């Protein structure tokens, strides 16, 4: 494993262990900002709470923008049930069965935290005959809090209230065979790759051909993380996000995925072809793919009306929006393509 990939994996482990469901990302944005603070960068926050790091290039009239997002799936407390269990409202697009049995953390408005487990109300097979058949939905799924609570008032006395954020335990693990297993690799794996790219550019004193902005967005999972704060000089806008794996998909866990189309329509043809050409010229392993039920920050930027050339690449992530997995090979291939891309001429 190369040094840069080792550093990317370490950063992934740090990032996934910082809770950051959409709407509650101040801590992780501050972590990213602090990790870049010693470099010669222009660092700014937008009003939505995202972070923009800018590296000045030789051409300051035409800019590039790359983005990855730190916000993740999560939930909010919807209701406190009479028996002291919590009902949830989901944040982001995923299914209830993807979090059944997961450990979680509830953060109150005062900053106190409590752990718990997300379970079906009818979990015990010794009590509920049809436990396996009950529907996994907002009425049957609940949080069992790790505190002595028996009624609604006991929970309220802890300071837990409707609107409190609930984050899911990432359970990150790196195997001897090079796999990274964790929740929230979407899109913290890509954020780690971008951070490594920025650091390597800065430490090598590389001069980029174009002024390049790196947006660490914080609302992608709810659809609008990267649709604003795009400088008017920006020509090319590249989202770095997970590649979707499944039946009928070309994407795998060992290459960089280059997206041709998602639910928002085709990505810019010439930019996609440019990325493919860079991969082939530099012996970078890649797959071109279509993600049928997917939208990125680049999609959001186009829908917001920005006159840009947009693209999407990223590491292949298995079991997206559940307990995800990728491989160091995919991280490495994605890093290499990004490195070549930021040094290349615009299309």
Residue 275: CB atoms within 10 Å: 27
Q: Which residue has the tokens 């790091």?
A: 53
Please compute Rg for the chain using Cα positions.
21
Bridge partners, residue 312, by sequence: 239
| HSE (side-chain half, CA atoms, 13 Å) at 137 | 4
The answer to whether 282 and 232 are in contact (CB under 8 A) is no
Q: Which residue has the tokens 């660092």?
A: 43
pTM of the predicted model as reported, rounded to 2 decimal places = 0.97
**What's the CATH fold of domain 3-72+184-343?**
Aminopeptidase (3.40.630)
Q: Which residues make Cβ contacts (< 8 Å) with residue 153, sequence separation at least 6? A: none
Bridge partners, residue 238, by sequence: 66, 311
241 assigned ligand-binding residue = yes
Q: Which CATH superfamily is domain 74-168 in?
A: Peptidase M42, domain 2 (2.40.30.40)
Question: Which residue from 269, 260, 211 is spatially nearest to 235, judged by alpha carbons?
Answer: 211
Q: Give the separation between CA 167 and CA 60, rounded to whole angstroms.
A: 41
Q: Which residue has the tokens 């992780």?
A: 28
How many residues are present in the chain? Answer: 347
Q: Can you list the alpha helix ranges (DSSP code H) found in the chain?
A: 3-16, 26-36, 152-158, 185-203, 269-281, 297-303, 328-343
Residues 120-141: b if buried by 16+ CB within 10 A, e if exposed: bbbbeeeeeeeeeeeeeeeebb
Boundaries of CATH 3.40.630.10 in the chain?
3-72+184-343
How many angstroms separate the Cα of 143 from the Cα of each of 100, 138, 314?
A: 10, 11, 33
Q: Per the structure block, which two tokens stand in for 169?
A: 């335990």
What is the predicted pLDDT for the residue at 227? 93
172, 324, 14, 143: CA torsion to nearest 10: -70
Q: Give the separation between CA 73 and CA 88, rounded to whole angstroms.
A: 13
Question: Which residue from 260, 198, 261 is spatially nearest to 64, judged by alpha carbons?
Answer: 198
The answer to whether 337 and 275 are in contact (CB under 8 A) is yes
Q: Give the separation between CA 314 and CA 286, rounded to whole angstroms.
A: 10
What is the predicted pLDDT for the residue at 49? 96
Beta strands in 169-308 (DSSP E): 173-174, 179-182, 210-217, 234-240, 243-244, 256-262, 265-266, 286-290
Q: Which residue has the tokens 């991280």?
A: 331
What is the predicted pLDDT for the residue at 129? 84
- Catalytic positions, written as ranges: 220
Q: What is the mean pLDDT of each run of 10 residues along the chain (347 residues)?
A: 94 98 98 96 96 97 98 98 98 96 97 97 90 91 98 98 98 98 98 98 96 97 93 97 98 98 97 98 98 96 97 98 98 98 97
221 assigned ligand-binding residue = yes
Bridge partners, residue 106, by sequence: 114, 166
The answer to whether 160 and 88 are in contact (CB under 8 A) is no
The answer to whether 249 and 242 are in contact (CB under 8 A) is no
Boundaries of CATH 2.40.30.40 in the chain?
74-168
184 assigned ligand-binding residue = no
What is the predicted pLDDT for the residue at 178? 98
The answer to whether 227 and 310 are in contact (CB under 8 A) is no
3 state DSSP class of 200: helix
């Amino acid at each position: 494993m190369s040094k840069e990939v080792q550093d990317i994996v370490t950063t992934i482990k740090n990032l996934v262990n910082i809770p950051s469901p959409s709407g509650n990302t101040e801590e992780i944005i501050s972590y990213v900002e602090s990790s870049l603070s010693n470099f010669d960068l222009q660092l700014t926050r937008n009003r939505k709470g995202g972070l923009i790091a800018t590296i000045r290039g030789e051409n300051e009239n035409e800019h590039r923008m790359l983005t990855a997002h730190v916000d993740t799936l999560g939930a909010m407390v919807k209701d406190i049930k009479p028996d002291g269990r919590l009902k949830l409202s989901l944040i982001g697009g995923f299914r209830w069965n993807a979090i059944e049995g997961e450990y979680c953390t509830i953060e109150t408005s005062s900053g106190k935290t409590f752990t718990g487990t997300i379970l079906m109300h009818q979990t015990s097979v010794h009590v509920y005959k049809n436990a396996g058949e009950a529907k996994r939905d907002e009425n049957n799924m609940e949080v069992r809090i790790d505190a002595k609570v028996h009624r609604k008032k006991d929970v309220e006395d802890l300071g837990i209230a409707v609107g409190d954020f609930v984050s899911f335990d990432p359970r990150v693990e790196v195997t001897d065979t090079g796999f990274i297993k964790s929740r929230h690799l979407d899109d913290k794996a890509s954020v780690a790759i971008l951070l490594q790219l920025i650091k390597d550019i800065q430490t090598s004193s590389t001069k980029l051909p174009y002024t390049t902005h790196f947006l660490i967005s914080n609302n992608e999972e709810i659809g609008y993380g990267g649709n604003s704060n795009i400088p008017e000089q920006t020509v090319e806008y590249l989202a770095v996000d997970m590649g979707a794996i499944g039946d009928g998909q070309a994407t795998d866990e060992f290459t960089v995925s280059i997206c041709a189309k998602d639910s928002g329509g085709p990505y810019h043809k010439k930019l996609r072809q440019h990325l493919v050409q860079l991969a082939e010229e530099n012996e970078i392993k890649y797959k071109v793919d279509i993600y049928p039920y997917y939208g990125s920050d680049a999609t959001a930027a186009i829908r917001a009306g920005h006159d840009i050339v947009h693209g999407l690449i990223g590491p292949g992530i298995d079991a997206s929006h559940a307990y995800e997995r990728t491989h160091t090979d995919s991280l490495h291939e994605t890093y290499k393509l990004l490195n070549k891309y930021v040094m290349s001429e615009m299309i």
